[in-house]
Structure 1
């Protein structure tokens, strides 16, 4: 009986699909069934009597072993579902139950890998739908309908809502779920939209609905679609259409404003149908035609058109039928029979099917404008009369073509007026001397800055007459509006005689400069001899000569030095006038140069007992020619020293203003009268001080300040002076 029972037990154990094994307290296998053999890929003989740790190295670190060990120690059964990686690398999930037995522990394990994978897929699917539910833009809510004894909907309960519901309504999920809508939104039962009745019936009847309604408790407009997934319940999806509803309201208000705008517009509005009958006019249009608004409605367009304009009016209407918008001027007949001049902007009007439905026009009364144009025409006639008698040539240019020229222009150029009228300006450029065409082009374009324009106005240029004769002319241009177009008015003066006189004068100046240059060189040769022999006598025989002779020889030597300075200035003057000075400016420290000049003149200043105040920047980095600016600064400083009586004060200052360096040299010397100030910078503009009882230096050629002015101007700068009058000192400026 025992053997039979044992056999039955063994057959039962082998037939179980769960893996069953037992371990003694030494962790040796004492029992395994067929399923356990298959799972471990080992035979029963390979398992029984072996320690678990030997068969499965590292198992001590798994969650399963922790369960084995816990039951072995506590003698309490436990269960775990966990993954296990077999020696062949395959990972499976197992549902493991462990029970305490007399010898150790009994373990029953079931492979639940497929169930685990299905559960994982289900969770992922639910996550996808939950993500869609949570992230959809439309609001969603699921409700249970609450009915009264007569099975009529009296309320509904919130079962579930998505985040968009919160965003669109402003209500919080935690304040709604499980609650009736009447609790969440008090007053909804009295809402004219009847949300409870409409959507309660959806849940009861299963008939879906879609509505656009305003919710008073939330103060928003919604478009809502409702359906019933099962009886007694309904779900809704909805979007907030408040902004759209506001836009519709704004459009309605805009249309009202548009109508009001037409009524109040100072411009006439005239609408006609496809048969040219009037369907709409505003008060301004009725005023233009002299009728009341009521009188105009229904009247045909042609009732207001003069007989001579009927043909052109038909052409305009044909253009409207062809979809063409036009702007034009037109005469209409008013109620009193008078004509009114108007300007129209007329546009076609088509219905939704593309059929011509008439046209509308904005109409302006231009009667006063027409009268003004007539006066302008008369004014133009007066201008023409004056222009024809003017000794100044007058030309009017529009769109690069000559539209008017007077007889003076014709005489200057040697052409008949009809030969020049409507000629392109570019065609006339061949009559301008090639070297002067840039001047003429810039003069016409008038696109230069004020300084350049002022300079150009002083320039004349050469033209060829029809006969080939060269004439000099001066020309100016201005732009003005004529006949609603930009028009260039050109004035032209023949300055040939004046220009020829200037050329002759220029030749004389050049001759004078050449004479000065030659004279300077001719004077240098005997001067060198005089100076040389004087120095020789003083050096070799000074000890044998009496004091009077030595004094006379020293005076000769000083005279030679003065004459040398004069000759040097004359040579520099001729160079400047002949444009032979090469600037060669470099970046230098102007402050250093000023201090150098001061140092060289300190002895002269000390001999006259002057106090010199230096108030210049430590460094003044700018671009200049060292040698030439040395001459300028030395000249100004020496003048201040020489022309200031002893014990005077001289102040040198620097200032940076608008990116310009300004140097000023101030003295409290003899000053200048207004008349003297006019000539101080002119060539040979020396002011005679001899015999005036002034304790000052009086030598000089009158070229120093002239040369200084030219050098500063070569640097692109300016030089000027200020003086309040005689014996009131002066200030010389360089910028």
Structure 2
């Protein structure tokens, strides 16, 4: 027996094999394994192996089934007898793989094929064999521990089939023995089939499930259970099986159903009835109890302590608890003060402890009767009025209380101040008496609407005692009597005359601004018309000279400059008009164009314009796909201007231009088409780029700061919601050409 160097924390592995070469291969694999620690023992003779197993504990045994001194399967059985708790992995050849399969039935944890054995397969097999063996041993211990449990416990495979069931679960499900329940699917016993799928899904997602579930017994009867199901995992976090534990709550469910039946009777009772759990917290009350306690609904009281209804009388609480514990009932009379109305009431109460059929305490039921003499309603209103009068009178808003006949019953000081009438002059008068005749119909419509919708708001012209009109906002809510009938309303009135005046002034200012804008547009049109009248003859005369024969070349050069400047002036007017149009429209008025078609037309126009130059334009465009972008009749002109610049300033015999187009997704729901146009001309120095970018400042109004065509293009692209950049074809080397990048918002597809 050869023992490798010992290190703390390693798994001890015994390798039984007659082939020294095979032993060395296995040794090297295990000792070089990353993240694993092994201590290797080896044996070439089987008797020696049994001695080692008798004297030492090994974490796993690797057994070659091809030993000459003993049959491989016999060797496996002997090792199991000597070390029943040690996992055994057998190694065989491809020709004898059937022997490896047979070994699994004789207790081997795993079989490995010698010809296919590699580092990963060997380490994985050893690790899993050790884990499985530990689990088997653990399950044996747990089985003994939980076999006598009164809780029902089952272990299931990952499909839900029973692999273990304790006596309690076998009996609970109506089976005579464990053989009858093994391999049956526990989830198929769930009456609600959709719930079984939800349980499995939640188990896989969160690792556990807790809830009530109805199971079908072997005899066809159903039982109600409180179940806890959880995944059993190994140290690596991989799921191994499912453990389900439950208790039978059928009797409790039946009792709850009986309570639900009683609840129907209780809810319709004229007496105030409340049911509490054994801790004294309310679990059910009827409408009569909610009304008695001044609650808006029964749900408002659920979960509150029953003792809370008597306020701070701790002596009474102590009396209740003592009587229920000793006599299981209490009856008597007590008083309490309702918080919502601040009044005292007297109640007669009967409180009883309820037990189930097996005499176990189930809940507490209490019945209450209002025995308070009727209080004088008017007296209570007077007391309330004294308490809240100061708040009412000092409120910032004017307040009216109006009866069902639209007459004013109550008014505060702010209302007196707003309208200039005394309280006596307003009380008893119809609300219409204080409204301007132009708002009378509107007020009537408002009051009619209130009776249907119960609350609302309207702006009304009121008239002061001195005849001055005040524009006010009236917000009102309807009041109902004890039978739910309309009894009037309470109205809050705010003087918004100043706000109305400011609104009118703002409207007037807007109108003046519109008029100013119209005058500005008119002056612009006059100026554009006059400039056009000046430029057009100049352009015509220059072209006539250029077309004439026998004209000196110097004269023609001057005329060409004049014609070019005249065209720029004409283009400037056109650009300014286009800017004005863009300034006046919203983005939803932009439309879609085919960008590839616009690009083609722009290229064609520039090639015609510069007939004396040769163009070499390369394209990288989406094939067999139309490209749509937002436009306002400017995109083609912008592209044409960029190409025009490339041709105009190119000093080479051939104008080389690269055009690339690709799609970009800037943010969810918002896409852009990125168009790159690169020339190989003299380039634009960085200082000039900065100047162009500053001229096209997007924070300025569109028609300001436009002196050249490129800033015009950049500003227009921004107005369309896109971006335009000017950069070097080769970063840092502007003299090798300029790249124009247009990021244009994606447009809707259209038929072209």
Give TM class, smaller chain. Answer: 0.3 to 0.5
Structure showing greater radius of gyration is: 1
Q: TM-score, normalised by structure 2?
A: 0.35
